[in-house]
Amino acid sequence: MADYDYDLFVIGGGSGGVRAARMASQSGAKVALAEESRYGGTCVIRGCVPKKLMVYASGFREHFEDAAGYGWTVGKTRFDWNAMRNARDAEIDRLEGIYKNNALEGNGVETFRARATILDEHRVGLVGGEEFTAKHILIATGGRPRMLKVEGMSLGIVSDDIFHLPELPERLTIVGAGYIACEFACIFNGLGSKVTLVNRSPNILSGFDKDVQDMVADEMQKKGIDLMLGTVPVALTDLGGQGKRLICDQGKTIDGDAILMAVGRVANTTGLGLENVGIELGKREEVPVDAYSKTKVDSIYAVGDVTERAALTPVAIREGAAFVETVFKDNPTKPDHDLIPTAVFTQPEIGTVGMTEAEARDGHDIEVYRESFKPMLHTLSGRDERVLMKIIVDKADRKVLGVHVVGHGAGELIQAVGIAVKMGATKEDFDATVAVHPTMAEELVTMKTPVSD
């Protein structure tokens, strides 16, 4: 190892890269990390964390309204975009400092605030001209938003830009209907914007259970979000100080102060120098890796959203840790991508783990247990909002194949449910568990009769 400047050079300072760099350094390796933007990556800087803070901010309008049903008198309320943005950004600055100073430099990792490029199997170059050698190179550059390829697309913004808007848009048009699009639709609707969501397919939240799709779509529309599904965007135009116009097929147009393109993400591999080592990218511009996160080049690995695996922060962290176990601790470890609990912070929230009903029917003889009801919270508030609980069971071995929840706190709930499903719990294990009453979650252990099989 003495022949190299570093035992490990990490490119990318997001969750996966930072975890790998810290753990490798703690194991005794000499480690460096280069990040061209901000430490913390998509999750901390322009994704999960600032978005969740905005979810909280957007929920207060309904809290104020619901309080009246419980005897509270709430005075006139007003939302201050700048106050929220400043408080949010101060928290992001604090977290970035923790990533850089505590997780990295505090554990002996040398950091470079610069763009890095792979020059060959063991050599990395920085944008300033410096070059370093490393026994192992880890690519952890994450992903970036994909732009819609239509005329005038430069007039739109992407999710990275949404956090830097100078003011709250009165009218926001969102193109796309995945979880990012739906989360921002709910956030800005809650903050007071008039939101229109446009999607070429007839459903929102592709890949989620159909009952979840339908329930969330219904609730979004109840809250005033205009869903234009089965509508194809064809161009964007500037209205000259009066906002932007999205032109769609069938002669439809939507005017807004901003147009958010939320049509998916691609791996952040542009200009990384992978052609120098013969690594060919996949269809999403991702880095192909094996079960141990190794590329076709023995010295080069990749973790996180830059690969074609589950694009989730906790997954990137697990992959980074497994990489260190494999390469620096002589303990070959495959990251486990099976039965990953997932939350979507729409309003109401989604919590899901395991198979959808459609996936389960393809190869399993199943029973479906489902309940939809008004939660206790809204018996006095009067709000017309419902909850969905759904369990999918394999008839043969009685194992729970999937659980899907829509309702307040679904993200918190699914973390605990995910443990049971991961352990192979059966429907009878759920039934044998005493209900916590009165809670929304007790329905998961009291549903006795399948609605379909």
* Residues identified as active-site: 437
* CA distance linking residue 59 with residue 64, whole number of Å: 9
Supply φ then ψ for residue 370, to 5 degrees. -150, 135
Q: Pick left, alpha or beta for residue 243 (phi over 0 → left; psi -120 to 50 → alpha; otherwise beta).
A: left
* CA distance linking residue 146 with residue 150, whole number of Å: 12
> How many residues are present in the chain?
453
* CA distance linking residue 55 with residue 62, whole number of Å: 12
* CA distance linking residue 89 with residue 115, whole number of Å: 24
The closest alpha carbon to 106, from 223, 16, 18, 231, belongs to: 18
Supply φ then ψ for residue 109, to 5 degrees. -85, 130
In contact, 410 and 349? CB cutoff 8 Å: yes
Tokens read off for 445: 């252990």
Q: Residues near 389 by Cβ (< 8 Å), separated by ≥ 6?
A: 370, 371, 372, 404, 405, 407, 440, 443, 444, 447
Q: Pick left, alpha or beta for residue 133 (phi over 0 → left; psi -120 to 50 → alpha; otherwise beta).
A: beta
C-alpha dist (Å) from residue 182 to 227, 265, 338, 364: 10, 15, 25, 31
Q: How far separated are the first and last CA of the chain, in Å rounded?
A: 60
* CA distance linking residue 452 with residue 211, whole number of Å: 13
Helices H, strands E: what count in the chain?
12, 21
* CA distance linking residue 315 with residue 412, whole number of Å: 17
The closest alpha carbon to 364, from 387, 386, 393, 342, belongs to: 393
* CA distance linking residue 350 with residue 225, whole number of Å: 17
